[in-house]
Chains A and B, each alone.
Chain A
Amino acid sequence: MTDTLIKMQNVDKFFGDFQALKNINLEVKRGERIVICGPSGSGKSTLIRCINRLEKHNNGHIFIAGKELTDQVKDIDAVRREVGMVFQSFNLFPHMTIVKNLMLAQRLVRKIKKPEAHKTAMHFLERVKIAEQADKYPVQLSGGQQQRVAIARALCMKPEIILFDEPTSALDPEMINEVLEVMTDLAKEGMTMICVTHEMGFARSVADRIIFMDEGEIVEEAVPEEFFDNPKNERTKQFLSQILTH
């Protein structure tokens, strides 16, 4: 399948007078893995948050599976059902056990009955190798475990695509790999994903395309080999030399 899942056309985003996104054009096909990188404040988060309407774009058009994102609540709800998101700070619901974290939206949004929601939750907890923690509370888990739960929670909604916003940058170094492994598995299974990350090893091995952003613009867009070995733009070169020496 090569049909277009996400299409952004001439998208601008302003925070007051400040322009955070400048004329963004981006197409993501079903099954594609996109990595977005760029310096702090370049608009990476803002870009993916526009895709599920956590931020509202000011100009241009965004289509998700052919449906345009407008102010209509119905459209936003429909889009959010298809688009999962994983945050830097996990954002698990602290007052619910792990398995309840995974069941809540299934029950409320998908209207799935309790036994089936529970089954789905346990299935995905097993997939992120954490089923034995099902009845614990988020504070009882390590950062890496919490992030895997957050990924499982997004998967329970059976989304068409998952957006990741720096999923490993709040983690201690020894926990980064367990999360990247889960994400790599997902990629192998054909999940469409857009991932903001500075894990260049992951980007090189998993991404179909890497997008470099700076000051609200997409500066460079290339397949990994080209991006790392032969970057065209000066700003990309500078960014890569900084990040790869660290």
Chain B
Amino acid sequence: MDLTLITESVPKILSGIGITFQLMLLSAILGLILAVILLLMRLSGKWYLSWPAQIHIYIFRGTPILVQIFIIYYGLPQFEFVRDSIFWPILREPFGCAVVALTLNTGAYVCEILRGGVLGVDHGILEAGSALGLSAQQKFIYLTTPIAARIALPAYSNDFISLMKATSLASTITLMDMTGIARTIVAQTFAPYEIFISLAIIYMILTWVIQKTFGRIEKYLSHYVNP
């Protein structure tokens, strides 16, 4: 075990944390928006909205995320219409491809998590809303959303951690996130053991921070369960 190698390489690896964070936060935000859209499509009760959402979820939960990244990065540019489209500036860059892949993937998972939350809302509460004259939209905004959010949060925080770890796959399409940098250092130093252990520890610390943060949010949202 070469300690100086570790102390030298950790700062280098950390210089990629910005990319890791950008991938994580962008995909998490866009993925959450996508998940809500997919959820509304699924709950619409209209087959022409519900089916596309279910097909999307089926595809992105049914295939490895690494394969999805490869298809988007290597596969899509083969098509003339992709290169001519307004999305080309995004899909031309590995960063854009990684964000697109992670967003589509996490959106599918989070949609199912949110759906679990919505289905977990006590039916009687919604009936009370109806009886008081609230419209379907008002019930969704003021009753379903806040209650479902609390139910879904623990599962959502797990998905968020999965997403954080999945950002490391972006290194396979040349991105210099923390994993990408670590791989470069290994290629130069031939010391995979020290470098990858250091990298693993950094990811573990990140996971810990995310867990703590979500724990706080959960506690806040649950104030009415354990006041």
Contacts and interface: CB of A to CB of B under 8 A. Distances in A.
B133 A137 contact: no
B124 A89 contact: yes
B82 interface: no
Contacts of A54: 127, 130-131
B196 to A, nearest CB: 45
B143 to A, nearest CB: 6
B132 interface: yes
Given A93-B125, A137-B227, A77 B143 contact: no
Which of A77, A81, A105, A150 counts the most B-chain CB atoms under 10 A from its CB? A105
Interface string B124-167: 11011111111100100011001100100000000000000000
B47 to A, nearest CB: 21
A84 B130 CA distance: 10
A85 interface: yes
B1 interface: no
B205 interface: no
B146 A105 contact: no
B3 interface: no
Contact of A93 (B128, B133, B225, B227): B128
B81 interface: no
Contacts of B125: 91-94
Contacts of B143: 93
B128 A92 contact: yes
A157 B147 contact: no
Interface residues of B, number: 22
Contacts, number: 70
Taking residues whose C-beta sits less than 8 angstroms from the other chain, chain A's interface range is 20 to 34
A108 B134 contact: yes
Contact of B134 (A83, A95, A109, A154): A109
B133 A95 contact: no
A104 interface: yes
B133 A157 contact: yes
B227 A136 contact: yes
Q: Secondary structure of the B side of the interface?
A: helix
B224 interface: yes
B146 A95 contact: yes
Given A137-B227, A139-B227, A140-B227, A94 B147 contact: yes
A81 B133 contact: yes
Contacts of B124: 87, 89, 91
B227 A84 contact: no
Nearest to A137: B224
B130 to A, nearest CB: 6
A109 B128 contact: no
Residue in B143, B150, B224, B227 with the greatest tally of chain A CB atoms within 10 Å: B224
A87 B128 contact: yes
A80 B132 contact: yes
A109 B227 contact: no
Interface in A98-144: 104-105, 108-109, 136-140
Interface in A34-82: 52, 54, 77, 80-81
A95 B144 CA distance: 10
Contacts of A108: 134, 138, 142
A167 B128 CA distance: 14
A78 to B, nearest CB: 9
A77 B133 contact: yes
A94 B134 contact: no
A14 B223 CA distance: 42
A89 B132 CA distance: 16
B227 A105 contact: no
Give me the 3 closest cross-chain CB pairs, A-B, nearest first: A91-B128, A105-B132, A85-B131
Given A54-B130, A136-B227, 11 more contacts: A52-B130, A77-B135, A87-B124, A91-B125, A92-B128, A95-B146, A96-B224, A108-B142, A109-B133, A137-B224, A150-B128
7 contacts: A94-B147, A95-B224, A104-B142, A109-B132, A109-B134, A138-B224, A157-B132
Interface of B: 122, 124-125, 127-135, 138, 142-143, 146-147, 150, 223-225, 227
Interface of A: 52, 54, 77, 80-81, 83-85, 87, 89, 91-96, 104-105, 108-109, 136-140, 150, 153-154, 157
